[in-house]
Amino acid sequence: MRRRPIALLLGCLAGLPAQAHGTRAGDLLIEHPYALLSAAGQDQGQVQLRRLHNRGAQADRLLGARTPVAASVLLQRRGQTIQALDLPAGADLSLKHDGELRLLLQGLKAPLVNGQRFSLVLRFERAGEQEVMVWVQIPRAAASSHH
């Protein structure tokens, strides 16, 4: 009799990592949203998405984003602000700190610190508004040099 509640609890816990690191929004898969630390006095930061995948048969577009930790969020490609990011059917993109696409946080209200979490609402043309939880972390290269 006691095995069933334990099995049920383990089944619920098994789903937690996927929810903590990604979001499914209809045909969109948004994986591992993260931000890098920012220094005191720095008023800009970046949010990265390890993977933004459109699994659907129809195109979508990322139109913008907002977060309570910054005054505004800009979409950028190669350092230039863009109005929208096209997501064709089957598109599989990355928005990484060393890549050409990124979300720039402008007007940070406080420095981003390791381990901090904050919400980010992504606005898509078809999928609508999708909230994800962003985790602030140390860049991998910097983290591995400390070992």
Q: Which domains does the chain have, with CATH numbers?
A: 22-139 (2.60.40.1890)
**Given this model, what pLDDT does residue 21 score?**
66
Residue 121 burial class via C-beta count within 10 angstroms: exposed 0-12, middle 13-18, buried 19 and up: middle
**Is the distance from CB of 129 to CB of 147 less than 8 angstroms?**
no
As a whole number of angstroms, the distance between CA 96 and CA 35 comes to 9
**Given this model, what pLDDT does residue 11 score?**
44
Q: How many CB atoms lie within 10 A of CB 136?
A: 20
Give the global pTM: 0.80
Q: Which residues contact 10 (CB under 8 A, 6 or more apart)?
A: none
**Given this model, what pLDDT does residue 2 score?**
53
**pLDDT digit string (tens) for the chain, length 147 residues:** 555 554 444 444 333 333 446 788 788 999 999 999 998 899 999 999 999 999 999 999 999 999 999 999 999 999 899 999 999 999 999 888 778 899 999 999 999 999 999 999 999 999 999 999 999 998 766 544 444
As a whole number of angstroms, the distance between CA 42 and CA 68 comes to 16
Name the amino acid, one letter, at 63: L
